[in-house]
Amino acid sequence: DQQVKQNSPSLSVQEGRISILNCDYTNSMFDYFLWYKKYPAEGPTFLISISSIKDKNEDGRFTVFLNKSAKHLSLHIVPSQPGDSAVYFCAASAGAGSYQLTFGKGTKLSVIP
Amino acid sequence: DAGVIQSPRHEVTEMGQEVTLRCKPISGHDYLFWYRQTMMRGLELLIYFNNNVPIDDSGMPEDRFSAKMPNASFSTLKIQPSEPRDSAVYFCASSLDGFNSPLHFGNGTRLTVT
C-alpha cells in the first residue's frame, strides 16, 4: 500500500503562472515532510521541507502547505519558470527516531515558455 | 563539495552475473542510504548505515543483495546473482543527521540485467 501518494503523474503550466503539486499521505505518524526535485539522469535534490508543527513554509518562489486534518500537502511554485520543469517527489517520515523516509512516485512538471 | 559520487553510471550485465555498485558519500555525513527506483514501486529504501554500521536492511529484497560500508568514505551494494527484475536505477544518498536533515543523492546507477 502506498503511504504517500501523488495522484497526478504529470502537470503542464504556462511560464509565469502558479504550479501546484499535490501529495496525500495515509500514515498519521508522519510528522516531517519534504519535497525533492529531480532532473533527468540526476539524483533527486532537496527543495523544501515542513514539520507538522507548521502549516506553511516558504522559500523564495516555493511554498509548501500542510493540512494535517486532511493528510494533504501541496507545493506551490510562483512564478513558474522553464527551469522548474522536472519530476517532483513528495516524501514523509515519522520524524526523530524514525529513519524510514517514504517517497511518492513523483509528478512530472512541464513549464511551457 | 563534490557531492555524492556513484559509479558506474550505467551497468549492463547478463542474468546470473555479479554486480557491484559503488558510492562515495559527502565527507562528514554520518548517514548513508541506498535506494532503488523502479516504475512500479518508485523510490524504495534498501538499507542505511550510521557511522559505517548497517542499521536497517529490511528493504533489501533478497539474500542476493548485500551492502557494505568498510569506511566513512565508501560503500558498495552487491547483487549476486543478478536477475532481470533487478533492473532499476540505484541511488546512494548521504546526510548529516539521518532523515532529519535533507538527503543528498548521487546521480544514480542505471542497472540493466538481460
| Tens place of pLDDT per residue across chain A (113 aa) | 789 999 999 999 999 999 999 999 999 999 999 999 999 999 999 999 999 999 999 999 999 999 999 999 999 999 999 999 999 999 998 865 556 788 999 999 999 99
Sheet of strand A72-77, all strands in order from the earlier edge strand to the far edge? A4-5, A19-25, A72-77, A62-67, A56-59
What is the C-alpha to C-alpha distance for residues B94 and B75, in angstroms, rounded to an integer? Answer: 11
Whole-Å CA distances, B12 to A57, B15, B105? 42, 10, 22
Kindly determine whether residue A34 and residue B102, on different chains, have CB atoms separated by under 8 Å.
yes
Beta-strand pair A62-67/A10-14: unpaired
Residue B8 reports pLDDT greater than 70: yes
CB A23 within 8 A of CB A5: yes
Q: Which residue has the cell 503539486?
A: A21
B8 touches chain A (CB under 8 A): no
Taking residues B62-76, what's their average pLDDT?
96
Contacts of B51 in chain A (CB under 8 A): none
**Size of the A and B interface in Cβ pairs below 8 Å:** 51
Question: How buried is residue A27: exposed, middle or buried, by Cβ count under 10 Å (0-12/13-18/19+)?
Answer: middle
Q: What is the dihedral of CA A37, A99, B57, B106, to 10 degrees?
A: 30
Q: Which of A34, A43, A93 sits opposite B108 (nearest CB)?
A: A43
How far apart (Å, rounded) are the C-alpha atoms in residues A104 and A111?
Answer: 21
CB B11 within 8 A of CB B110: yes
B107 Cβ under 8 Å from any chain A Cβ: yes
Q: Residue B66 and residue B85: Cα distance in Å, rounded? A: 16
What is the reported pLDDT for A97? 52
pLDDT band, residue B1 (cuts 50/70/90): low
Give the pLDDT band (50/70/90) at residue B40: confident
Per the prediction, chain B carries an average pLDDT of 93
Letter string b/e over residues B35-67, b meaning 16 or more CB atoms within 10 A of that residue's CB: bbbeeeebbebbbbbeeeebeeeebbeeeebeb
